[in-house]
Amino acid sequence: MSAESYPVVVLGAGLTGLSAAYHLGAPSLVIEREGEVGGLARTHTEEGFTFDCTGHLLHLREARVVALVDALLPRAFARHERRALVFSKGVFTPYPFQANLHGLPLEVVKECVAGFVEAEIRRAAEGEPDLGTIGFREWAERIFGEGIARHFLLPYNAKLWRADLDDIECGWVSWSIPRPTLREILDGAFGATVRGLGYNPTFLYPRRGGISVLPEALALRGPEVRLSETVVAVDATARAVHLAGGRVVRYEKLVSTIPLDRLLQIARGLSSDLPRIGERLRAVRVLNLSLGIDREGVSGAHWIYFPEKEYSFYRVGFPSNLSEGLVPRGCSSLYVERSLLRDEPFDPEEVTSRAVEDLRRAGILRRGDRLVYRRLSILDPAYVIYDRFRAQNLPAAHRALNEAGIFSAGRFGSWEYSSMEGAIKAGMELARRLSGSLEGRGAVLRAGTMSGPTGRF
């Protein structure tokens, strides 16, 4: 069987792979294992209910990404002001926890405020902690104080990461965890709701359909995408991708957005250290339980965080509050996220029954509510674990791949915690990087998406 050949082959039709292919232009080929594009940004519709693969809300800051989304889908997105809550100590408080302490038990409020003041005094004397030398537990206590760390940051992140927080390094905290000022802490403790903190105070969501409209628009305007194709090996020496069924596709440059741990284990002709690195890269998977309820207005929130151990999930979201068209008339929808280690067994019936009971205990569901739809899906991987092994070995792995003409990018290709905007931007930047080495081979870098925002959202 003769092999096809392309200047660029892209593995994975998620946002990064599609963005790279779109911005690079023909000639390239995108290969996707699933039967549809989107990666984690896929959408499932069944029995009148529409769910994304857990919560996928678009937070745009960079003008070039705003312009791209506007060009692909003009007027397709509605802007929402975040309505996020935290449920702890039996009460709902606005997110972020650290800036909205009012309503919690008085002793908790006092402990959190006093701890924050003590942390401020310590940093004034010692300076900011070095993110490269401390673990997440120490960072949380030194930045926010022992109270906020103990009552929210540590229990919540322990539920999410399922790892020793002393071994979690801090390369992801600067953009994902809001840092209020002392004035904001005090305002929130005395009852003034503090808004606008964090990377997601507002967000975009499609007016019609789910978040999959975005990857579908990229795929429609980009080069060829082949679906339901499984990559079984990458021969770095021959620069060839081997597919299930025996087909072979050759490349000059390979863009991989499949999980890095898997790429390192299926790549041939590279250092023997790489498969061992791949085996030790850690991640958690997420059980995503989608539920349809026969009652409108189950909650007014967009999502709610649950830091306490007695609740099996760490977050619950409400798609029906994003768009009326996502549920049948008279119904609500919610998704429940529960983190598991990748080798941890689970019972699907126990996951569902425990989640429903926990939702009732939290006051979200009523005893009379009827489940009219349910679906359990698994995201694996879902969140990469920022442990010290990752920090020590990731640069060498990427360097070895790059030297062989393989560029691993995106949330799981780079083995990082990133947003949808970050995924799109990673594809843009990789296309620009590769376009120079492919001059004369038909690669045309799209330049029409680098202008400023148009204000249509």
Summarised one tens digit per residue, pLDDT across range 334-387 is 999 999 999 999 999 999 999 999 999 999 999 999 999 999 999 999 999 999
pLDDT of residue 446: 57
pLDDT of residue 1: 58
Say yes or no to pLDDT of 143 above 70.
Answer: yes
How big, in percent rounded to 5, are the helix, strand and coil portions of the chain?
35, 25, 40
**What's the mean pLDDT in 61-79?**
96
**What's the mean pLDDT in 15-30?**
93
pLDDT of residue 226: 97
Rounded Cα distance, 287 and 376, in Å: 7
Q: Range(s) for CATH 3.50.50.60 in the chain?
A: 4-77+207-280+386-438
pLDDT of residue 437: 67
Tell me: domain 283-384, CATH 3.90.660.20, correct? yes
pLDDT, tens digit, 9 for 90 and up, residues 255-270: 999 999 999 999 999 9
Looking at 294-344, which runs of residues are DSSP E strands?
303-305, 315-317, 332-341
Say yes or no to pLDDT of 452 above 60.
Answer: no
Say yes or no to pLDDT of 450 above 50.
Answer: no
Give the DSSP letter of residue 149: I
Instruction: Grade residue 98 by pLDDT with cuts at 50, 70 and 90.
Output: very high
Instruction: Grade residue 455 by pLDDT with cuts at 50, 70 and 90.
Output: very low
Tell me: domain 4-77+207-280+386-438, CATH 3.50.50.60, correct? yes
Burial class (CB in 10 A: 0-12, 13-18, 19+), 376: middle
Instruction: Please state which of the ranges 45-54, 85-94, 190-199 shows the lowest mean pLDDT.
Output: 190-199
Q: Range(s) for CATH 3.90.660.20 in the chain?
A: 283-384
pLDDT, tens digit, 9 for 90 and up, residues 390-415: 999 999 999 999 999 999 999 999 99
Instruction: Grade residue 34 by pLDDT with cuts at 50, 70 and 90.
Output: very high
Most confident of 190-204, 343-357, 423-437, 440-454: 343-357
Residue count of the chain, please give it: 457
Greater model confidence, 170 or 444? 170
**What's the mean pLDDT in 212-236?**
97
pLDDT of residue 202: 94
pLDDT of residue 26: 67
CB atoms within 10 A of CB 247: 15
